Structures are given as C-alpha cells and as structure tokens.
Structure 1
C-alpha cells in the first residue's frame, strides 16, 4: 500500500504541497466511519501512481484545515498539481471514477 505522511500543522501541509509536483491530501477525523473504509482503498489505488505523494491530516488535530480548504465534511480527498487543486472528492468516493481521473491527469503531469 501507498506510504502515508502525517501532516500535523498548516505549515507542514503547505510544505508538503509545495515540495511535491503531485500531492494528494486525505483529510479525515477518527470518529468518521466512512474514513476507515476510504483510506485503505485510496492507498491501494495510489500504488498505481508512484509520483503522487499521499499526506494524511487529522482534522481534529489541525482544525484550521477546514477553513483553509473549505472542508465541510470528511473524508475529503484533494489532488494538487504544482500547488494547484485539481481534484476534490468528499464523503462518498466513487473509486472507479477517481481512478479514471487520476489516470488522465497522471499521463499529462508525471515526471
């Protein structure tokens, strides 16, 4: 499964996004039942895309993340390319559709 970097502050989130051409943020809360199902599936899916780096944010520990990224529910999945948000999925994720989006984007932007 894809390696996950835990991000514990807004600075670490900004550094993660800025230091990776393709960065994927996973925002969740421990009490979220859906989050438990989504993260393992996401880690498996992202194995296909080695250049995409995955960061995890516990929204309870980094409360400012909600306002920074306009997060109203969890989980939220955000793909950034060179610091710009390209894909946003929230709550119920359709993995087949997400995989197709990622394949198209990855072909254009991979190293």
Structure 2
C-alpha cells in the first residue's frame, strides 16, 4: 500500500509516471492493464508505473480527482499531461504520449 506523499515523491523524482487506477471488481481494468503495461514497457523505457486499487486507497483516488475506473494519469516532468478514463484504447494512449515523451528524453 502507498500513500499520497509516496506517490507525489515518485511523480517528482521520475521523468515519466503512469498512475493506473482500478479495483478488483472491474473487469475492464483487468483486461486493459496487461496490454497497457506491455505497450508502455515496449515504447517508453523511462516510465515508472504505479497501480492504485481504489477499493483500498480511496483517499489517493480522491486526491487525484479519480472517480471512475479504469483511469490512467500520465505525468511528464512532474506535470499531469494526460488523463484517460473508462473507454480508452492502448494505441490511443501510446500515440498521445509518444511525441512529448520523445522530445522530453532526447
């Protein structure tokens, strides 16, 4: 289990961070997560990924204004860059991150 301070520290200390909000009862979350993690891993070596189970960590979800699952938050250089909830495709997420990420790490 994590807390808000630990997550904020991860966001500050890493160039690229993905927060993945889900819950054990969410079938879409479980179908999407492995595909998304694999795509992030293949395309972006610098990414730090943090999974948040909102059934346990409601306070963290509320802190980041996450009220629906799955939700993906992408932070680049400690700033929220992308927020996707519910209906998202892996390709869509990768495409939106690719250019700014490559500019940032080059």
TM-score normalised to structure 1 length: 0.86
Query: Between Structure 1 and Structure 2, how many residues are aligned?
Result: 105
**Distance in 2 (alpha carbons) for counterparts of 1:85 and 1:60:** 23
Number of the residue aligned with 1:21: 15
**Distance in 2 (alpha carbons) for counterparts of 1:57 and 1:66:** 8
Structure 1: where are the runs of 5+ without partners? Answer: 1-6
Give, in angstroms, the shift of residue 59 of structure 1: 1.1
Per-residue CA deviation, residues 82-106 of structure 1 (Å, 9 max, x unaligned), is 2210011111212222121121121
Map 1:87-106 to 2 at 5 A. 87-106=82-101
Per-residue CA deviation, residues 56-103 of structure 1 (Å, 9 max, x unaligned), is 111122111222111110111011012210011111212222121121
Q: Considering only aligned residues, what root-mean-square deviation do their CA atoms show, in Å?
A: 1.4
**1:56 paired to 2:51:** yes
Q: Which has the higher helix share?
A: 2
Per-residue CA deviation, residues 6-28 of structure 1 (Å, 9 max, x unaligned), is x5211221111111111111011
Structure 2: where are the runs of 5+ without partners? Answer: none
**Distance in 2 (alpha carbons) for counterparts of 1:27 and 1:11:** 17
Number of the residue aligned with 2:34: 40
Moved over 4 A (4+): none
TM-score normalised to structure 2 length: 0.90
